[in-house]
Amino acid sequence: MSAPELQPGDQIVFTSLELTNKDDLAQATKDAGFVVGPGVSKKTALLVAGDPDVDSSKARKAHEYGIAVVSEKDFVDAYLGGVVVPDTDLPTAPAPTGADAVQGTAKRDLPALKAACKTLRDGARFHALFQSTEHGRYIVRGPAFYSALGEAWTVGGIPVASSAGVPDKSLRGLALADDSEHAADGDDFTALAVEQRPYGRFTVYGPVRTIAGGLRAVGPWLVRHGSPVEEG
């Protein structure tokens, strides 16, 4: 069943959400002019589910009443402008301007990372610092994307946390990204603007490394003439 055309004041009900925090989604729904209902009734205009084929009591009642059931992603895209901004005290980070931005202690603050990973929301922009033996340290700024195939949250296609919110071993820092973007291009530190499906548009910042075959790379991305050519 296709999603209906909603009007301000229409009642929306949620069930079995997977990608968004219920409180955040409820607030965004109210901000858009809708009413959030506790359960499905004949007054309900739409049921939003993590999986529209879910067999929950709310879903069964919605089918009984002929009420449309849509996925939370489709609901956010169609009615909330594509993004649910998390209500969080997570700090906001500016775009880096030099190599100092990727420096730091090797030891991870795991409790802080776990708390930050709990704020991951589909489409919200994050500033993620990664470190690995193969790719060194680099920053990715872009929208969070939940990969159902990999059962992981990603930024720029790089795993950030598992579906349970456990930080990936390569994650060293996570913050909300502000609106700044710097063209930090240079011989030893650069910014790469990337657009890649299904991860959207994101920017990679980091030191330029020379790897096998004389190729240049920033994090996992190979670089040619200042542009990303592929992910290594």
Q: What is the pLDDT of residues 27-67, one digit of tens each?
A: 889 988 999 999 999 999 999 998 888 888 999 999 999 99
Q: How confident is the model at residue 87 (pLDDT cuts 50, 70, 90)?
A: low
Determine the average pLDDT of the residues in 195-222: 89
CA gap 225, 202 in Å, rounded: 18
Tell whether the model's pLDDT for residue 229 goes beyond 50.
Answer: no
CA gap 211, 32 in Å, rounded: 49
Average pLDDT across the chain, whole number? 84
> Looking at residue 2, what is its pLDDT?
61
pLDDT in tens, 135-148: 989 999 999 998 88
Domains of the chain with CATH codes: 11-79 (3.40.50.10190), 92-231 (no CATH)
Determine the average pLDDT of the residues in 149-163: 92
CA gap 35, 214 in Å, rounded: 59
Buried b (16+ CB within 10 A) or exposed e, 211-224: eeeeebbbbbbbbe
Residue the block writes with tokens 């004041």: 9
Closest CA to 18 of 120, 141, 88, 111: 120
> Looking at residue 54, what is its pLDDT?
87
Enclosing H/E stretch for 28 = helix 22-31
> Looking at residue 3, what is its pLDDT?
66
> Looking at residue 232, what is its pLDDT?
46
Tell whether the model's pLDDT for residue 74 goes beyond 90.
Answer: no
When mean pLDDT is compared over 84-88, 217-221, 224-228, the highest value belongs to 217-221
